[in-house]
Structure 1
């Protein structure tokens, strides 16, 4: 077996899109590779998948938005890279970037998955003042360009993302690998009212949902303002927010009428199944795994036109798009959906069909194996 090292600055037990991606992928990779993950030592319980070795890096005191960065432990990373045949990086934080630099020096094959546009993510998550924002944007773009240009291959979630980073000076060869989801696991419920009741929600109320990190770049304030407007027309409507994050974002939702904070959840399927509409108000994304999962559960979505989302969400077919930071437009879309059950049903069925035809997890795994076999 070849030795595969997966370097990531985001991993369980801290849940986000990268963690969910790896939690599904690792059991498959471990069947064919001697797999090691090097990741931050986040607090919480975690059981490694069978056949997967996990090396943890202690956390530093540096906090970026809702994220606490790992320490720079070059000696540990150097040792793991030395013992690996292939490096598969998920991030360009301290772990991802150092791993890429070490592998480049040792002339080992380096594959990286582009989960986010780093210069957008850093800028929006910190939300600095205008001058600092411009500086942070420029510096983070330079870092991304230097690190990614040392890779052998970049896996991008869509052709559009690949073209975008190429235009920004990242010249490494790219291959499209769509983010997939398990459409058998993430499936519609047969009883929406029962799904709501099981979570302690009003089974007769209409539920708007969001699932993900409570970070500044997710722009949940826009969702909150839209929900306040919506309550004037649908006083019994409920907003279900699933996830954890920074305190200042959480305050928007705490102890508010009709708003339910569910916190971080390992099993997210019941929460998607309880939603009548899913909302993604993000300022930056590449694929948005949570949106794909919601669609797989037969939930119509209302999203900002970010990343690949603007391509697979089609207005009036499987959901709607609305301009970033526009709570009026979001409230308008939600009002149209909540007042029209047949429309929700039609869009939900089409959303499910989109997930099945475009985002099969089996295809993602198969194509990932083909990429690794090439090296």
Structure 2
């Protein structure tokens, strides 16, 4: 099939590189594998991306103000409408300004439209907002908007069956199909911890508790910081890899022993340098971050959220703790800190779980099959 014969796939997203988050990482893995299509990306203009020379990209200017750690695209129907009109398939990732406009025009022009569900928006948005008055209205408005958009799509691609069930319970009745997220297990490996620490100039003998991802209110990182402070170890560090709210970065940076290193294009050596990984989030769906940590044979301690509850088996390939309970999290961390063999055993089983169930090539194939079924 020559490039001119490929069907035109427009991917509309309110999150994209170079701003790293779960959606951006998902697209970075999936786009090179969707080689049956002529792809156009409509995304916020956060700056240049690695795909700018290989695919068509429509950059939408950013708002002047931010909500939490997120700056959204402006409302620019004139940029989005022509691309949707020329599309064969519209593949939305979000319900922000870009995803919403793409959904509206897909319906207007009777285009085949699939949406990937990366998060439960009405759970995520209120927790990301710091102002109580905005929080009060964010939940019902976001839920109404999600129902409006998703009930008008032709297909919802969900990362797990329980996420699909949750949407159905919330009166989102569009047909759903499951495509698990994946991990590049050849890249995300255990590696050599001593070498990684030497390369990154991290203390070689410290116990390093880590997290990678956005610094947002919904990530509940203050609970992690409180638990870390209770951890008893001869030498310890709290390693935070990621960017986000300046106020949160300042709070975390004030914690004794905390290292806030910002967003990294390659998180692998940072994961390889850690001893224990923690995901303290209030809300997640699959969490690529957790899967990447597990693939690097890290013992993970997570809040019991989203699909994580299905693939982590407490005490076998990871641990859970009560989301807001920093005392319980501290106990879990202490148990792992005091028992290197437990860390090794849990980490080994964690990687085996990822190798067995999460593969990007399989994920991409399922997504293409779903898009082709429209």
Which range, TM-score by smaller chain? over 0.9
**Partner of residue 23 from structure 1, selected from 23, 28, 31:** 28
Superposed CA offset, 1:241-296 (max 9, x none): 00000111101222543211110100111111111111000000001100000001
Mapping 1:295-374, distance limit 5 Å = 295-374=294-373
1:62 Cα deviation (Å)? 3.4
1:139 Cα deviation (Å)? 1.0
Structure 1 residue aligned with 2:12: 7
CA contact (8 A) 2:207 2:237 kept: yes
Mapping 1:53-64, distance limit 5 Å = 53-64=56-67
1:63 Cα deviation (Å)? 1.3
Corresponding residue SS for 1:127? coil
Tell me the TM-score normalized by structure 2: 0.96
**Partner of residue 168 from structure 1, selected from 142, 167, 170:** 170
1:354 Cα deviation (Å)? 0.6
Superposed CA offset, 1:202-224 (max 9, x none): 11111111000000000100001
CA contact (8 A) 1:70 1:95 kept: yes
1:132 Cα deviation (Å)? 4.5
1:187 Cα deviation (Å)? 1.1
RMSD: 1.2
CA contact (8 A) 1:157 1:287 kept: yes
Structure 2 residue aligned with 1:144: 146
Count of aligned pairs between the two proteins: 369
**Partner of residue 40 from structure 2, selected from 20, 36, 39:** 36
1:127 Cα deviation (Å)? 3.4
CA contact (8 A) 1:26 1:49 kept: no
2-structure distance, mates of 1:14, 1:197: 27
CA contact (8 A) 1:300 1:348 kept: yes
**Superposed structure 1 runs of 4+ greater than 4 Å apart:** none
CA contact (8 A) 1:7 1:96 kept: yes
Corresponding residue SS for 2:65? strand
Structure 2 residue aligned with 1:177: 179
2-structure distance, mates of 1:235, 1:18: 38
Mapping 1:47-196, distance limit 5 Å = 47-48=50-51, 51-129=54-132, 132-189=134-191, 191-196=192-197
Structure 1 residue aligned with 2:3: none
Structure 1 residue aligned with 2:287: 288
1:39 Cα deviation (Å)? 0.2
1-structure distance, mates of 2:87, 2:76: 17
2:211 is the counterpart of 1:225: no
